[in-house]
Amino acid sequence: MNDISMREIYKDMDGMDDKWICDLNSYEKLQIKLSELPTEKMMEDLHDYLMNRFSLRSPRTNAGRVSLVNRLIRFISERMREFSSISEMNREDSLHRYSVWLVRHGYRIYQSSERYTAAGKIVRTCRGEALGAFADVLDYCKEQDKREETQKDTWSLDCLGVPILQGRNIVSRLDFTGIPQSGIRAEVKKACLFELKSLKAGTVRDNLTVMKRFCLRLNHSNPKISSLSQVTRNDIEEYLLYLNTEPHGRKCVASEISALRSLLTLCIKIEGKEAAEKLFLDGDIPRRGYVLYRAYSDNEIRRINDAAVEYMPPQITRALFLQQLLGTRISDLLELKKDCIFEDSGCSIIRIEQPKTGFIYTKPVSSTIVELIHSCVQYTNKYAPDSDYIFVDEKRPGKRYSYEKLQYHFRKMADEANLVDDNGKRIQFESHMYRRTYGKSLADMQIDELIISKLLGHRGTKTVSKYRKMSSTVLAEETKDMRKEMDRILSELASKW
């Protein structure tokens, strides 16, 4: 496709205003360099945009935007060559990459405007014209893309037509553009669509991110592979070596390998094929060392609570107190709804939803907890009466409290109160410590494991053994015979000295 001129954009406009005709004669030689775009489909996308959007504006207005479009074409030809069309580009990622490119080439990405009011001068900063123009192009091309959602390289989950399971953090898109092999990209799409039927969107997105990293490395180490069924054990070993020797900033290599194995196996099974050999061995996933969990002591809890009352906002303090009393995760606590308390046979019961597992459980609570929850609800109703949730951000009533908000206030309190643990070290914010302390307290009371698992919201009793091991009471009971034998041996030795 050839370059397009201003004259061509307005060629079909009969009865054009005289002023527009005059302006067009002045700017008709301006050219938009479509031929520099890397693919024919990109040229068609941008040509369609220019013919439909530019024709709505005057030639004088568009004359100032020609340089913006040519600059955008230069960016796409340099940094976006992995895409076949503009409609495939992810909006947020593309705008971020364009911002970086603009800054590196000395262009402004924000602009300021001034206006005077009765209150004085007001300076307003907004996104620059370059980013605005690219955003307009992306939005237009997305609107014109009439393909089925599953055929696109960026999915809008609301348009898939299937029920989507969401966690606390809402996922609205899945982006497959980071997979350079077109055949593998199609296989991964089928697997992700299958996973969306049973897994939360956040989990599917995380698995997709792992697969994209693997495919990028695979494209570098073995570019001939076009299907995941062609992957061999040697390819897996090369990637494992890369994960364990190169800096990559992964939080947990074991989780990465486990997610890769799951999605890779699913992709191959959906295609009705079999891997040429066993791809993963039992030793590929690093075993995590045994960790003896720590809990707050009674003195530490007392110091934390005293400081919280003095230095923390009231609603944050109530939230942390509730977590101590209920023994929930932070995510469970922030999911509590205003109607979570109900009566059953004269006993107050609380309903707790676990975003991590999707499990909902109930347990009886004391009148103290009921009063504390009522106080939280009364506080929230002052600024967010329509919200279903108890812990809602005061500044943004449509949004719930976040983990980061609680973490910030805890750390601020620890600094102001100079809080230290029993060893004299600064107390750090560990949200799961309250849950461990709750579980350890139940173990100290010699409560049955099944009851402990029910109170903690576990589906089984496997995890309860960890709380047993944390309990000093249980530890003393289990080592009593051993300590008696050691005392006898030492007594015999002492008698000979």
Residue 92: the pLDDT is: 80
Q: Please state, in angstroms and rounded to a whole number, the distance separating the CA atoms of residues 277 and 231.
A: 9
Residue 17: the pLDDT is: 64
pLDDT higher than 50, residue 475 = no
pLDDT higher than 50, residue 365 = yes
pLDDT higher than 60, residue 355 = yes
pLDDT higher than 50, residue 304 = yes
Kindly state the tokens that stand for 197. 């039927």
Residue 493: the pLDDT is: 45
Kindly state the tokens that stand for 33. 């360099």
pLDDT higher than 60, residue 119 = no
Alpha helices in 105-181 (DSSP H): 129-144
Kindly state the tokens that stand for 429. 């914010």
Task: Give per-residue pLDDT as tens, 207-254.
Answer: 999 999 999 999 889 889 888 888 888 999 998 888 888 766 666 788
- Asked whether 205 and 166 are in contact (CB, 8 A), the reply is no
Count the alpha carbons within 13 Å of 228 in the hemisphere toward its beta carbon.
Answer: 30
How much is the average pLDDT of 6-19?
Answer: 66
Q: Please state, in angstroms and rounded to a whole number, the distance separating the CA atoms of residues 325 and 365.
A: 9
Q: Please state, in angstroms and rounded to a whole number, the distance separating the CA atoms of residues 24 and 178.
A: 42
Residue 125: the pLDDT is: 52
Q: Does residue 260 or residue 434 have the better pLDDT? A: 260
Ramachandran quadrant class, 286 (left: phi over 0; alpha: psi -120 to 50; beta: rest): beta
Q: Please state, in angstroms and rounded to a whole number, the distance separating the CA atoms of residues 96 and 93.
A: 5
3-state secondary structure of 5: strand
Q: In angstroms, what is the C-alpha Rg of the chain?
A: 31
Residue 472: the pLDDT is: 53
Q: Please state, in angstroms and rounded to a whole number, the distance separating the CA atoms of residues 474 and 214.
A: 46
Q: Please state, in angstroms and rounded to a whole number, the distance separating the CA atoms of residues 455 and 467.
A: 13
Q: Does residue 322 or residue 482 have the better pLDDT? A: 322
- Asked whether 370 and 341 are in contact (CB, 8 A), the reply is yes
Residue 485: the pLDDT is: 54
Residue 111: the pLDDT is: 65
Kindly report the average pLDDT of the chain as a whole number.
80
How much is the average pLDDT of 82-109?
Answer: 84
- Residue 113's contacts (CB-CB under 8 Å, 6 or more residues apart) are 123, 124, 126
Q: Does residue 126 or residue 101 have the better pLDDT? A: 101
Kindly state the tokens that stand for 231. 């992957």
Residue 467: the pLDDT is: 63
Residue 496: the pLDDT is: 46
User: Packing angle between helix 403-417 and helix 298-311, nearest 10 degrees?
Assistant: 100
What confidence tier does 497 reach under pLDDT thresholds 50, 70, 90? very low
DSSP for 365-413 reads --HHHHHHHHHHHHHHHTT-TT-SBSSB-SS-TTSB--HHHHHHHHHHH
**Residue 55 CB burial class (10 angstroms; 0-12, 13-18, ≥19):** middle
Residue 479: the pLDDT is: 47
Task: Give per-residue pLDDT as tens, 149-201.
Answer: 888 878 888 888 888 888 767 888 888 878 888 899 999 999 999 999 888 88
Share of the chain above pLDDT 70, in %: 83
Task: Give per-residue pLDDT as tens, 139-155.
Answer: 888 777 777 888 887 88
Task: Give per-residue pLDDT as tens, 52-91.
Answer: 877 777 777 777 788 888 889 999 999 888 788 888 787 8
Structural domains for the chain: 4-144 (no CATH), 149-284 (no CATH), 298-478 (1.10.443.10)
**Residue 190 CB burial class (10 angstroms; 0-12, 13-18, ≥19):** middle
Query: Greatest CA span in the chain, whole angstroms?
Result: 120
pLDDT higher than 60, residue 348 = yes
- Asked whether 279 and 236 are in contact (CB, 8 A), the reply is yes
The amino acid present at 458, given as its one-letter code, is H
Residue 179: the pLDDT is: 87
